[in-house]
Amino acid sequence: MLLILYFGDKMDGISKKAENVLIVANPGTGKTTALAKMVVKLLAEGVKEPDILCITFTNKAAREMRSRIDEEIKTAGIDAKPYLIDVHTFHSYAYDYLSRMGLGYELAGSNMLRYSVYKSFMKDNAFNYSHGYILDDLVPKTENAIRYVKSFGILPSSIDMEKAAKELESAYKSHPLSNVTLEEAGAFLKYFVNAYSTYEKEKESSGSYIDYNDMLIKFVQKHDGKKRYKYVLVDELQDLNELEAQIAVLSGDSLFLVGDRKQAIFGFQGGSLSSFEKFENDESFRKENKVLNYRSLQPILDYSKMHFLSNTNDKSYEKELEGLKSNRSKGDADVKVFTASKQINATVKLYSEMKIGSGEKTAIITRTNGQLVQVSRLLDRKGIEYSTTAGSSTSDSAKEQIISYLRGMLYDDRDTVVSALFTPFSGITLKEAFEVSKNWPMWGSKEHGKVPKEVLSVAKPFFERKKELTIDRVGSLFDEVILPISMQIGKDYYLTAQALNSGATEFFELVPDRNIEAFFDYLSILEENYEPAKEEKSLLLTTVHKAKGREFDNVIYVPISGRNNESFVDMAVYSIIKASAGIDVREELAEEQARVDFVAFTRAKNRLYVVANQNNEDSYKIEGFEADQIDSEEEEEPKTTKYDEAYSLFVNGRFEEAKKAIGHKEEWLLPMINDYFSTERDLSYSMVESAGDPYSFLKEKILSISELHTGPINKGLRAHEIAKMLYEGTLDEGTLTEDEKRYLENIKAVGSELGEKTKTVQAGAEVKINAALKDIYKGFDGNTGFKAFLDAVYESSSDKDKKYVILDYKTDKDDGKASDHRRQLAVYKRLFAASKGIDEKNVSIAIGFIGLRGKINTGRLEHKLDLSQEKAVQMKTFERHLERFLSYKRDPIEFAKAVLETKSDEPLFGNIKKQLEEEIKNKK
């Protein structure tokens, strides 16, 4: 279904008899006050309170509007009952109308939409991205995109797929996407509509759930045609989407509209400038332009005006901004543009060096929440207090730790349980967790469900809780363990725990299929709605969109370069809207960057500092305003998040151990590091390379905290098994899945092409090779060995001057890492030659890409044989990495110090760092 939009160019439906008013309210000119004064004027003229409707976008704006109306009524001294005036958001107004009609609904939250999208993507096998990227990036983007499409009244049933596909093809040919092919973009269009349809069907099957857009759609569908109010006053006109504009017209005889096209920054939510312009062009409206600013000093207004006009092609804005003046004559304004190579670091440095007066409010305003988290991380490291409208840098780490603990409580495999033991909630000490991870393989099997008795003994409190736990009793785990310990760690950690607790409750209410994996999928896609504290600090971190309608003494604005390229999500969405509603939203979004900047600038009262980068500095430098470079200081050491081990023991009932943990610090971590590096073992390529991340190396290699394998990794392992069995003649092709059969065909094709081009035949699969390290690296003189497994070895048929080819199979989705793979093969080539006692010149390398499939699943699985040979620099790079590893073997304390230099906000790292620092200090 596609709703018939309410007006054409002539604005059908608007009363021509009564006066309609449209006020263009420039920033800081008192638009809310104008609305309140209009209400007072109407009341003074005898209009009854129930005949007036005031409508805006957020609950906060609605509360502010009601408060301002109350003040103006008192100031005017008129006898009125302001509580009888309806003041609503669009959604509360629509919901209230539907309720009065006897239609009862429950609100479907963001998580229902996200989970439906995720399930649809998984069912369609839509992507070849990592599972984490799908959950963290693509699902949220698609959720927003569905809301955007729906804000135009477009439902899945009204989408003409053929027409949308043609629009997408035309758009792609005009502006090709750099990261996906046309075929992939077309495939995503289908996956998107499938996900949208899945969501709508699941919502309908639930019986009574509707989302915010449904409220607006159903209002229009169910409206009886009677205008309930004589006067409808609408704030933030520029942010109305097509449905909201229609609701305003349907609701009253006369319209009093206030807005500013220059502040239209909610296009991603469906805010439509075309709605504003149609009202503006209607002759029944009396127009006013407010230009007296009560907020900013004149230089700030001048800079904002000049920047905006230099970044728009619409000449009508010149008239709107003509005469924009400040009513503030006192105060020293300061407007500066800084350029920095590292914007976030420079921003924090700039703030820390500012002289801020008592009682002044400062805002660091960014374009994205991601930027805010980066700013918060640096402020935390400096110990600077702030309030924020987004989650802090702690949130992601907290979510990961809590889900890891829950997984360990509900699953039985060794790697999952060990990961859970290293969380703050396990009830055992770090030393005990390390003891378990190191010794589990010696104590017993890694087999699923079989826990050695020694492990049960060391981690007794963990397994006692685990034994009693079922998925339906997860709530008790939050109440008894997760929430109390999270509160001790810190506010942001606790807020994340609360969000996950609410999400778990929501899962049991909404999802009928209560299996464990579905539970964790649901928690992974949760949207965290971060509510800032009611009492703000003197410094606020906020995005431009959250800063709308606010003012600050000082503003530091951190812009990003405008988006020049659409994503495949954008292209699908724009094509659907163009095909279904005939609206080209690209035109409306074209100058959104200039509008975002304008809103950010005009939040400032006295000081405005813009911190640009080298890519966008020219667009912010305005003649007559100071510009300067700002050096980005080195990052501070992370303010690591630690948890109190003693408190964790106490919460888990280990009271005596908690007492001991308070005052007793045993040396145990440095000995484990020393033991690892002093033990003689064969080295491998992955071992040497992974030491480049010392903290991860410590966790995975020394402490045996395994990373949980994802689908793509397991697929790669299976493809290598197939290749080995094919060579050995033990492969039963009848047992393969359809996916595995396609890998098999690619393995055969690569092998055939290699043999033909190099005149060789396969002579081995999964070939293990060993050689002395000194034979492949002349800078080492010792007995250490080096080992590797070669996927396949090919050799020439002639024994005279025999040639060899080392083939490495890769299941990468593209060939972007070919250079890294060649570095690995360069090492294997030297190792193979040393093990055979032959000249390296007789050995060549080959990469067999057997899983090329792009980023979006089109049904293709292709292959490519890469016969390019290594370059000398690649071996030199490996030798540098090898020397780093050997330096750690010579002096393990150097490795420990490298671990301490890691920048990580993980609570586990905080406790490891504390332990290492104490042990190193005691060594001196």
Q: Which of 251-265, 483-497, 801-815 has the lowest mean pLDDT?
A: 483-497
Statement: residue 834 has pLDDT above 90: yes
Spatial contact of 418 and 708, defined as CB atoms under 8 Å apart = no
Q: Between these two residues, 603 and 330, which has the higher pLDDT value?
A: 603
Instruction: Spell out the SS3 assignment of 413-427.
Output: CHHHHHHHHCCCCCC
pLDDT of residue 10: 34
Residues 6+ apart with CB under 8 A from 814: 852, 854, 855
Helices (H), 459-490: 460-468, 474-477, 483-489
In the CATH scheme, what is the homologous superfamily, with its name and number, of domain 20-106+214-294?
A: P-loop containing nucleotide triphosphate hydrolases (3.40.50.300)
pLDDT at 64 over 80: yes
The mean pLDDT value for 782-790 works out to: 93
More confident residue, 642 or 149: 149
Residue 14 has pLDDT above 80, yes or no: no
Read off the tokens for 647.
């408190």
Backbone angles phi, psi at 326, to 5 degrees: -95, 140
Is a pLDDT exceeding 90 seen at residue 645?
no
Kindly state the DSSP code that residue 203 receives in the 8-state scheme. Answer: H
What confidence category does residue 618 fall into, taking pLDDT thresholds of 50, 70 and 90? very high
Question: Are 53 and 232 within 8 A, CB to CB?
Answer: yes
User: Is the sign of the CA dihedral 731, 734, 739, 745 positive or negative?
Assistant: positive
The per-residue pLDDT for range 719-778, each reduced to its tens digit, is 999 999 999 999 999 999 999 999 999 999 999 999 999 999 999 999 999 999 999 998
pLDDT higher for 911 or 350?
350
Contact predicate 704/438, CB 8 Å: yes
The CATH code belonging to domain 309-391+533-562+585-628 is 3.40.50.300
Strands 539-543 and 387-388: parallel
Beta-strand ranges (E) seen in 1-51 are: 20-25
Q: How far apart are CA 533 and CA 540, in angstroms?
A: 11
For residues 407-424, give the mean pLDDT. Answer: 89
Q: Which amino acid is at 117?
A: V
Cα separation, 326 vs 328, in Å, equals: 5
CA 278 to chain centroid: 36
Q: C-alpha 699: how far from its chain's center?
A: 25
User: Alpha-carbon dihedral of residues 179, 183, 185, 189, nearest 10 degrees?
Assistant: -160
CA–CA gap between residue 839 and residue 830 (Å, rounded): 9
Report which of 761, 765, 781 is spatially closest to residue 773, judged by C-alpha positions.
781
pLDDT for 15 beyond 50: no
* Cβ–Cβ under 8 Å, residues 611 and 340: yes
**Amino acid identity, position 768:** K
CA neighbor of 588 nearest in space, from 276, 212, 156: 276
Tell me how far the alpha carbon of residue 514 is from its chain's centroid: 26
Pairwise CA distance, residues 225 & 246, whole Å: 12
Tell me if the pTM is above 0.85. Answer: no
Total length of the chain:
924
pLDDT digits (tens, 9 = 90+) for 74-90: 999 999 999 999 999 99
Question: Which of these, 603, 593, 539, 607, lies nearest to 364 by C-alpha position?
Answer: 539
Q: Are strands 626-629 and 285-290 parallel, antiparallel or unpaired?
A: unpaired
Q: Considering the chain, what percentage of its residues have pLDDT values greater than 70?
A: 90
CA separation for the pair 761, 798 (Å, rounded): 11
Quote the CA–CA distance of 118 and 52 in Å, as a whole number. Answer: 43
Distances (CA, A) of 346 to 542, 596, 665, 758: 17, 21, 39, 55
Confirm if 285 and 297 have CB atoms less than 8 A apart.
no
pLDDT digits (tens, 9 = 90+) for 36-45: 999 999 999 9
Mean pLDDT for all residues in the chain? 88
pLDDT attached to residue 694? 95
The answer, yes or no, to whether residue 11 has pLDDT greater than 50, is no
pLDDT at 210: 92
Residues 329, 593: contact at Cβ < 8 Å? no
User: Confidence band (pLDDT; 50, 70, 90) for 368?
Assistant: confident
Q: What is the DSSP string of 571-604?
A: HHHHHHHHHHH---HHHHHTTHHHHHHHHHHTTE
CB 216 within 8 A of CB 248: no
d(CA 205, CA 208): 8
Q: Is CATH 3.90.320.10 the right assignment for the domain spanning 711-879?
A: yes
Tens digit of each residue's pLDDT (9 = 90 or more) over 289-326 = 999 999 999 999 999 999 999 999 999 999 999 999 99
Instruction: Count the Cβ atoms, other than its own, within 10 Å of residue 228.
Output: 17
Tell me the mean pLDDT in the region 840-855: 96
Grade residue 13 by pLDDT with cuts at 50, 70 and 90: very low
| Dihedral sign of CA atoms 126, 127, 128, 133 in order | negative
Which segments of the chain belong to CATH 3.40.50.300? 20-106+214-294, 309-391+533-562+585-628
Residue whose C-alpha is closest to residue 257's, from 291, 285, 226: 285
CATH 3.90.320.10 maps onto the chain at 711-879
Interval 130-186: pLDDT, tens: 888 998 899 999 999 999 999 989 999 999 999 999 999 999 999 999 889 999 999
Q: Judge whether 687 and 788 are in contact, CB under 8 Å.
A: no
Higher pLDDT, 903 or 745: 745
What is the per-residue pLDDT for 6? 37
| Three-state DSSP state, 108 | coil
d(CA 239, CA 217): 17
pLDDT tens-digit map of 686-729: 999 999 999 999 988 888 776 654 445 566 788 999 999 999 99
What's the rounded mean pLDDT across residues 260-278?
81
Alpha carbon of residue 381 to chain centroid: 22
Of 97, 138, 154, 98, the C-alpha closest to 270 is 154
Exposed, middle or buried by CB within 10 Å (0-12, 13-18, 19+), for 666?
A: exposed
Looking at residue 727, its pLDDT comes to: 97
Adjacent-strand bridge partners of 55: 88, 234
Contact by Cβ (8 Å): 594, 312: yes
| Range with the poorest average pLDDT among 42-51, 327-336, 393-402 | 393-402
Report how far residue 880's alpha carbon sits from residue 741's, in angstroms, rounded to the nearest whole number: 41
How confident is the model over 888-914, as a mean pLDDT? 88
CA 583 to chain CA centroid, Å, is 29
The mean pLDDT of 869-890, rounded to a whole number, is: 95
Tell me the pLDDT band of 641, cut-offs 50, 70 and 90: low
Per-residue pLDDT band at 388 (split at 50, 70, 90): confident
Name the DSSP class of 89. Answer: E
Q: Is the pLDDT of residue 828 over 90?
A: yes
C-alpha 711/C-alpha 737 separation (Å) is: 15
Q: How far apart are CA 873 and CA 877, in angstroms?
A: 6
> pLDDT tens digits, residue range 453-503?
888 888 888 998 998 888 888 999 999 999 998 888 877 788 889 889 988
Task: List phi, psi (to 5°) of 15.
Answer: -65, 135
Average pLDDT in the 590-599 region?
92
Compute φ and ψ for 762, nearest 5 degrees.
-70, 135
- Dihedral angle sign, alpha carbons of residues 807, 809, 814, 819: negative
Q: Helix or strand or coil: residue 195? A: helix
Token pair 């949980």 is at which residue? 708
